[in-house]
Amino acid sequence: MNRRRAVITGIGPITCIGCGRENFWKGILAEKTGIKCISTFDPRPFQVRCAGEIPGWNPEDFFTPQRVKRLDRYAQFAVASAELALKDSGISHSHDQPQDRVGVSFGTALGGVCKAEDQHVRYLKKGVHGINPMLALQVFGGSAHSNIAIEFGFRGVGTTNSNSCASGTISVGEALRYIRDDFVDVVVAGGAEAPCSVLTVGAFDIIKTMSRNEDPATASRPFDRLRDGFVVGEGAT
């Protein structure tokens, strides 16, 4: 049986070494690691000190203030990455003409853990009335592909898988399948994570899988004989 072939037409990296194709490439050429000392929370209770945080992330560069309130940090990365990829590809889209043949395939291991953690703190301080009524829609893993579809008017197939570190790669494979089997003509595919939080870092630190190197410049060294664990990072592509 003849199956359609597919090509990747654009990318939209949101990373700790640069956001957007050009800045990301500049970061690679500069041989930057992007690993810094953790700043989003106090890491002193743990032995882990470094992570790949997005420097100076300002969601209002992409969203209205009202929209920002409805998106977990991981979903912000996902939608912003999709916007950059669409611009890079040159593919047009319009809410006036809903795109029934454009789908979304996304992946995430942890989904909205940052927002869930924040709301737990609010619950401890204010009780039930401190919980955001939109919480359920913000933290579930599928909020990535759902918000991308809403943002750009895509009405084709939409899925988010949660297969740990392979989630993003699997999403690309699923996108190929959707195009090859004629479900849609175009798929926005990728992965996003925002794991720089107490719960995530604490969970991996307790089982001793993360690097405890205190020097950001040498903490992430995956192919080194003296490697002492992985370094968690946030972002999307």
Paired tokens of 137: 């829609």
**DSSP code of 154?**
B
Angle, alpha carbons 137-61-30 (nearest 5°) = 110
Tens of pLDDT, residue by residue over 18-28, are: 999 999 999 99
90, with CB counted inside 10 A (0-12, 13-18, 19+), is exposed
Q: What percent of the chain has pLDDT over 90?
A: 68
What are the phi and psi torsion angles at 33 (to 5°)? -90, -35
How far is 183 from 103, CA to CA, in rounded Å?
Answer: 9
Band of residue 96 on the pLDDT scale cut at 50, 70, 90: low
Between 143-152 and 73-89, two packed helices, what is the crossing angle to 10 degrees?
50
Tens of pLDDT, residue by residue over 169-224, are: 999 999 999 999 999 999 999 999 999 999 899 999 999 999 999 999 999 998 99
Tens of pLDDT, residue by residue over 132-154, are: 877 777 778 888 999 999 999 99
